[in-house]
Every structure is written in structure tokens, then in C-alpha cells.
Amino acid sequence: MESLLFAGVGLIVLGLLLMVIEAFLPSGGVIGVAAGICAIAGVVLLFRHDTTWGIIGALSVLILGPVSFFSALSVLPNTKLGQQMMGPGVEDIALEREKNEHEHRAARAALIDQEGIARSTLRPVGIVEIAGQRHEAVALGGIIDQGTRVRVAKIDGLQIGVRAVEG
């Protein structure tokens, strides 16, 4: 009868190990199904040995199964395999986004006092062309007709404020 105990515990441990392997080697669920079968077979063997052992085994599988799987998933991004699978980390993406935003704001700030042409009527929002590039802009101080020369008066965040050029 002790063989049922050892076999049951062994199958549960094998099931938990397979769950960890599933986290590192996604197989479309094949390894996960094998882990589940091993764990269930281990619990059945423990119940055949003794009811107390069966309950302990079932609770262990219900608690340790998800814990081991999600623990392995939390470790995965720090491994070489995980970094290859997931690509750049969130920190790298955030730094790249911040760099791009800074460059974009600097390019917008360089537009101040530059002149261009209104490509649509600004009531108060429309399209202007400045230095060969089209931008969405807001007319400051009234409607600006299409074809009117405009000068960038202010930059507020990503919004370009323009005024009509007199003369």
C-alpha cells in the first residue's frame, strides 16, 4: 500500500513540474494537459491509499498548481528565454516613448515664429503647411481663410496656435 502513496506523491510532483515547464515552453496546452492528468492520477492514488492523504493531495494540487505556474510566469521575463520571447521590457518601451515624445515636442517648439500657409479655413481648427509639412493648427483671434499666410504664435502641448500675417 505504501507504493500507492509514493506513486501518488510522485505523480503530483511530476504534475507540478510539468506546470512549471508549460510556463517556460508554451506547447498550446499539451504539457498543461499532461500536468493535469498526472496531478489527477496522483490524487486518485492518494485517495486509494488513504482519504486523509487524498484530501491533502487534492488541496496541494489546487493550491500549488496555480501558484507554481504563475510563479514560473513571473520569473520568465528575467530569463534569457523569456527576454527573447517577450522582446523589450516595459521600461525600455517607456524610455523609447519618452524619448520620442521629447523629440516631437522639440520639433514642435522649433516651429514658433515660422511662417506658412493655411491649407484649409481655420474655424478655429484647420490645416496649415509650415516648412513643407502639414500640421493641424488652431487660429488665434478669429477665422483664417484658406491660402492666408500664417505665423506660429504659440505651442501648447501638441497644439499649434497660429495668427494671420498682416501685409
Tell me if 71 sits within 8 A of 24, measured CB to CB. no
Q: Structural domain tally of the chain? A: 2
Distances (CA, A) of 95 to 65, 86, 88, 103: 36, 17, 11, 12
Q: How many CB atoms are closer than 10 A to CB 87?
A: 8
DSSP bridge partners of 162 = 139, 152
Q: Which domain holds residue 132?
A: 103-164
Tell me if the pTM is above 0.85.
Answer: no
Compute the mean pLDDT over every residue in the chain, rounded to the nearest whole number: 88
- Which one is predicted more confidently, 23 or 19? 19
The answer to whether residues 79 and 19 belong to one domain is: yes
The answer to whether residues 81 and 110 belong to one domain is: no
Query: Residue 87 carries which DSSP code?
Result: -
The answer to whether residues 63 and 26 belong to one domain is: yes
Mean pLDDT of 143-148: 95
Read off the pLDDT band of 102 (50, 70, 90): confident
